[in-house]
């Protein structure tokens, strides 16, 4: 059985201090997790509409979906950490801590 492994091309190491502005976080959200969510949606739609021959082809597509879902989750977690860091920094700068 051959299973395609996806490499997380858009994932980067989390760095809460790297993105310090709202606009940079918004851009990262569009280019990272949202783009991966769109890919996940397209792949899931394709899988649902496909009448592949055999369980092996469906298994490979399910593995691919799982990998995309994991990448999306990791990217959203990284984004959430960066967003929380920005919130904390802004709150501290405005004496709201």
The average confidence (pLDDT) of the chain is: 77
What per-residue confidence (pLDDT) applies to 59? Answer: 86
Instruction: Please give the residue that has the higher pLDDT: either 25 or 1.
Output: 25
Using alpha carbons, select from 46, 79, 76 the residue that is nearest to residue 64: 46
pTM of whole model > 0.85?
A: no
90 has pLDDT over 80:
yes
Residue 74 CB-density burial (10 A; 0-12 exposed, 13-18 middle, 19+ buried): middle
9 in any annotated domain: no
96 has pLDDT over 80:
no
3 in any annotated domain: no
83 in any annotated domain: yes
38 in any annotated domain: yes
Total tally of structural domains belonging to the chain: 1
49 in any annotated domain: yes
Domain that holds residue 74: 22-90
40 in any annotated domain: yes
66 in any annotated domain: yes
């Amino acid at each position: 059985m051959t299973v395609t492994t996806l490499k997380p091309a858009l994932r980067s190491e989390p760095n809460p201090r790297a993105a310090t502005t709202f606009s940079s976080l918004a851009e990262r959200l569009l280019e990272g997790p949202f783009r991966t969510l769109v890919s996940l949606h397209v792949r899931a739609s394709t899988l649902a509409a496909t009448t592949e021959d055999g369980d092996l082809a469906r298994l490979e597509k399910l593995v691919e979906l799982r990998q995309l879902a994991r990448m999306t989750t990791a990217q959203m977690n990284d984004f959430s950490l960066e967003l929380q860091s920005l919130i904390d920094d802004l709150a501290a700068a405005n004496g709201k801590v």
